[in-house]
Chain A
Amino acid sequence: METELEFAKSRLFDQDALRVSNIKFFPGKSRDVTVEMMAVELNKTITQIENGDYELITDLED
């Protein structure tokens, strides 16, 4: 079965995909989380970023 974890691995690490050299997480509020749930959220967020659904905050004085 195709899982979000396998999708994440391919899109992150394949030579003709992002070719990620480091990825790290800030975990969420719940301790009852699985690897697959983390992959789902990561995939959603990367897709949002690739499609312009984000708000840039690179420059924040606070």
Chain B
Amino acid sequence: MNFKDLYDYCQTLPVYISRNVIKDKVLELSGGETVAIMRATMDLNVQRGFFLSAKNTDALLVRQHGTNVIAVGRSQNACWERFIVVKELMHFFDSSEECTDTPKGFEENIEHMLMFSSGLCAQALAEIKCFWRALAVLCPEVERLDLKLQREKRHINDYGIALKLRIPEQYVKYLIDDRFPDISQKYCF
């Protein structure tokens, strides 16, 4: 499945874009995958959520919820929860090289993710890629350019943009950054 298909689809949608709309399109593009999304208790200082894909159909978790599970921490506001769910949905597009499917890759991915270092493994790069992909699908480019212009005129601020798009306010600065098109291009396609 190709991320570009999801990206193009989202360009045609008015904001804000419902997570159900993105989820349904991702599943359609996946050709028959399912996903169970749930809230559970976790220390939000350490972890806000995760995506897990498991293949053992005898395992309790897979029997109950199917192959793909997204968990998000309880007590996060709707903007955060939406963004985490959408970012994790982007992992449906991970290439086989980007999938974390070994104990060694698992440890390496977490280590690299926490180090913010250069020379990241493919799995850790996929984490970054999915962050930018989530931003790109939640804010169509036409809308982004308009919001950027409105903000330059001081007709809207970061909080207003965050609420309109229903994304975490701290990520608005990335969307309106002049480098967004280059970064987005690098990670999205």
Which A residues are within 8 Å of any B CB, using their own CB?
A: 5, 8-9, 12-13, 15-31, 33-35, 37-42, 44-46, 48-50, 53-62
List A contacts of B56 (CB < 8 A). 15-19
Instruction: Verify A18–B54 contact, CB threshold 8 A.
Output: yes
Q: How far is B48's CA from A42's CA once the two chains are assembled, in angstroms?
A: 10
Instruction: Verify B100–A62 contact, CB threshold 8 A.
Output: no
CB distance from A56 to the nearest CB of B (A): 5
Query: When each residue 29-61 of chain B gets 1 if its CB lies under 8 Å from chain A and 0 otherwise, what string results?
Result: 000000111111111111111111111101111
List B contacts of A42 (CB < 8 A). 47, 50
Q: How far is B75's CA from A55's CA once the two chains are assembled, in angstroms?
A: 12
B114 within 8 A of A: yes
Instruction: Verify A27–B52 contact, CB threshold 8 A.
Output: no
B110 within 8 A of A: yes
**Besides the contacts A9-B106, A34-B114, what 17 more A-B pairs have beta carbons closer than 8 Å?**
A9-B103, A16-B58, A20-B52, A22-B99, A24-B50, A25-B109, A28-B43, A28-B46, A41-B42, A44-B42, A45-B42, A45-B50, A49-B61, A49-B71, A56-B36, A62-B18, A62-B82
CB distance from B86 to the nearest CB of A (A): 10
Q: How far is B40's CA from A42's CA once the two chains are assembled, in angstroms?
A: 11
Given A19-B59, A60-B20, verify A24-B127 contact (CB < 8 Å): yes
Question: Which chain B residue shows the least CB distance to A47?
Answer: B40
List B contacts of A44 (CB < 8 A). 41-42
Which B residues are within 8 Å of any A CB, using their own CB?
A: 18-20, 23, 35-56, 58-62, 65, 69, 71-72, 74, 78, 81-82, 84, 87-88, 91, 94, 99-103, 106-107, 109-111, 113-114, 123, 126-127, 130, 166
Instruction: Verify B38–A41 contact, CB threshold 8 A.
Output: no
CB distance from A31 to the nearest CB of B (A): 8
